[in-house]
Structure 1
Amino acid sequence: MKTVNDKEFLTYGRVLDVDTYEFTTAISGHEQTAQGEVVYEPSVAEFEELPLFSEMSERVYGDMPVEFGHCSGWNEKLNALEYHRSSEVDIAATDLILMVGRQQDIDQKTFTYDTEKVECFLVPKGTAVELYATTLHFAPCGVDGKEFRCGVVLPRHTNEELKADTTKAKGEDKLLFAVNKWLIAHEESGLGDEGAWVGLKGENLSL
């Protein structure tokens, strides 16, 4: 499997030169996620008190207000792909695998995406990566069936509940699922029942 240190990853993002030790130590003290579940918390006060939080805001995001949370749990499937109008920083507190694609490959007439175009990259524990705004991604996958733990840094308010009514949305607006979050789901994911746009075509990829 390719890793984020391989040149192929440069299409999707870059590895950041930051010290992640305090974060990985902090999240390792959290209770294990319930078997079979994936949890996402956009903002965790404990993480936002770390020096890494200020470094993310000031250096990586150019002094923008950001949020520092995590996505953790048990996952081995693609299920969906999302993108933002901003980069996302993922910090691997365990070895994990990212399934990624390119926003440019979304069919702009049907707003569908062929899962055959997805690539997988191993992110070694302790590695922080910036995923560019045009990089499609979703919840990481664990390695060898183990729980994954991933820090997530995004502009403040990303992934909060939408205030706008999108029930009659057209075009790309149909993909808007939360604040700064455009989502394309696979029919097998069940996210369509939550109002997500179902547009992933092909196999729901699994490790």
Structure 2
Amino acid sequence: MRKIKAKKITLESFKEFGEFYSYLRPTGNNFGIFYPDTIKYPVSGNIPVAFSAMVNEKPEKYIVSAVEYHNYTCEIILPLDDDIIVHVAPCAKNIVPEKTEAFIVPKGTAVKINTGVWHKAPMPVHNDRVHMLIVLPERTYMNDINVVEYKEEDKIEITI
């Protein structure tokens, strides 16, 4: 099993995989107390954007044993009550575990994962569980999700 170290998320280090914005420390264009259009979420057709809750438990070890991607949409993840570890690998036809990177995302910071980027559910850093807001087009989890379970030799352990 390979090990990778989770690193602090920065604009430069994450740009291949998407973008992020801190909603607890907003910056940039504003109209007083309102900061508009901080992350743009493109959608097509008549499909509504859905806001979903996710609660994930802190594992004994941060092991990546499976990954997923979406063909037709990006995904937004907003950790509400803890920092999270997000693991991502570049868009590719087949799995690329050797290209996996892990990032520590501060609570209150929304992360947009680009279409086709390999990822899976984030994990809490400090607390026993983390509550997250997930933004996807309605029913993406049923009609645009491709999940691959890793073979033992492809599994990855993330360290902090």
Whether TM exceeds 0.5 here: the answer is: yes
**For the residues of structure 2 that align with 1:20 and 1:3, how far apart are their CA atoms?**
17
Deviation of 1:12 after TM superposition, in Å, equals 0.3
Decide which of 90, 94, 103 is 1:102's aligned counterpart.
Answer: 90
One-letter amino acid of the structure 2 residue matched with residue 134 of structure 1? G
Decide which of 60, 73, 81 is 2:41's aligned counterpart.
Answer: 60
Alignment of 1:5 with 2:6, yes or no, is no
Partner of 2:30: none
Q: SS at the partner of 1:103?
A: coil
- Summarize the Cα distance change of 1:183–1:62 in structure 2 as closer, same or farther, 3 Å threshold: closer
Q: Whose relative contact order is higher, 1 or 2, with alpha carbons under 8 Å and at least 6 apart?
A: 2
The 8 Å contact of residues 43 and 137 in structure 2, kept in 1 or not, is answered as no
Partner of 1:141: 123
Deviation of 1:154 after TM superposition, in Å, equals 0.2
**For the residues of structure 2 that align with 1:116 and 1:145, how far apart are their CA atoms?**
28
List runs of 5+ in structure 1 lacking aligned partners.
22-54, 108-112, 161-178, 189-200
Q: Which moved more, 1:90-99 or 1:143-152?
A: 143-152
The 8 Å contact of residues 9 and 105 in structure 2, kept in 1 or not, is answered as yes
Deviation of 1:186 after TM superposition, in Å, equals 1.9
The 8 Å contact of residues 79 and 109 in structure 2, kept in 1 or not, is answered as yes
Decide which of 144, 156, 160 is 1:180's aligned counterpart.
Answer: 144
The 8 Å contact of residues 77 and 141 in structure 1, kept in 2 or not, is answered as no
Q: Which structure has greater strand proportion? A: 2
The 8 Å contact of residues 87 and 122 in structure 2, kept in 1 or not, is answered as yes
Partner of 1:126: 108
The 8 Å contact of residues 41 and 74 in structure 2, kept in 1 or not, is answered as no
**For the residues of structure 2 that align with 1:20 and 1:65, how far apart are their CA atoms?**
26
Q: SS at the partner of 1:77?
A: strand
- Summarize the Cα distance change of 1:120–1:103 in structure 2 as closer, same or farther, 3 Å threshold: same
Bigger Rg over Cα: 1
Deviation of 1:144 after TM superposition, in Å, equals 4.1
* TM-score for both structures, normalised by structure 2: 0.71
Q: Structure 1 segments of 4 or more deviating over 4 A?
A: none
Q: Which structure has greater helix proportion? A: 1
The 8 Å contact of residues 89 and 118 in structure 2, kept in 1 or not, is answered as yes
List runs of 5+ in structure 2 lacking aligned partners.
1-5, 26-36
Deviation of 1:15 after TM superposition, in Å, equals 1.2
Partner of 2:56: 73
**For the residues of structure 2 that align with 1:186 and 1:83, how far apart are their CA atoms?**
14
How many pairs align? Answer: 135
One-letter amino acid of the structure 1 residue matched with residue 120 of structure 2? F
